[in-house]
Amino acid sequence: MKKDVMILTGAGQIGMAIVRRMGYGMKIVIGDKNIKNAETIADIMNKAGFDAVALEMDLSSRESVKGIIAEAQNYGDIAMLVNAAGVSPSQAPIETILKVDLYGTAVLLEEVGKVIAKGGAGVTISSQSGHRMPALTPEQDQLLAMTPTEDLLSLPMLQPKNIENTLHAYQMAKRCNVKRVMAEAVKWGERGARLNSISPGIIVTPLALDEFNGPRGDFYKNMFAKCPAGRPGTADEVANVAELLMHPQGAFITGADFLIDGGATASYFYGPLQPEK
């Protein structure tokens, strides 16, 4: 029997938390580059009464993205997308971050946008990092939003010589995610569907633990200690916002980005986390 389908890319804690809120009664297709991770999340979901299947998927490959979409369509119409896939600054070199987090996300939003069902909704997980980077020019923002996807990585601003380090690459990728969501939301709207992004701060997940134990660990620990909330967040708090964005209650919200960081960005610009000048 055909069902509405939800695609989850990135088999992690944030994605699973959102799917548990929104995936009941749907076929959940879980894609991850590490198939064992996808199988683990699918097993947890199935044992909780959901209907999930695991697939191997490489976000940096258009053919791989198209493959998971085609497989999902075998089960029914694609009604929801949750994109939580990506790599962090401590996990990968500059080129990989740009290929996965920036180009891969753009490809996924584009390809799902071609087939998303009327009334459908999507969220992609960006990051507070995109908000902390200095403002780009309007022309640069336009390029990130509107450049044909296959030409994105050829933009001068994204050449390795113009990227300072892996954190800068990550910030550029996340800024691009937000701009891309705005542009793609216009196209999704033509199909009667909505698309938004969420920019979490420090959320306790295995990826965050990698950062805590990485070269910028002290920076991140200081960040959540001095942010207004005084603590890191949880995956379920991100899911709280995703639930609104993907439910009918959020029907007037599309093309937007939601910063969920316990006030860390506010403190970075106007509080005790301000960098020394």
Instruction: Kindly list the catalytic residues.
Output: 170, 174
Give residue 126's identity as a one-letter amino acid code. S
Which residue is listed with tokens 């929801």? 80
Q: 66: which residues sit within 8 A by CB, 6+ positions away?
A: 111
Q: Is residue 134 exposed (0-12), middle (13-18) or buried (19+ Cβ within 10 Å)?
A: exposed
Determine contact, residues 188/116, Cβ cutoff 8 Å.
Answer: yes
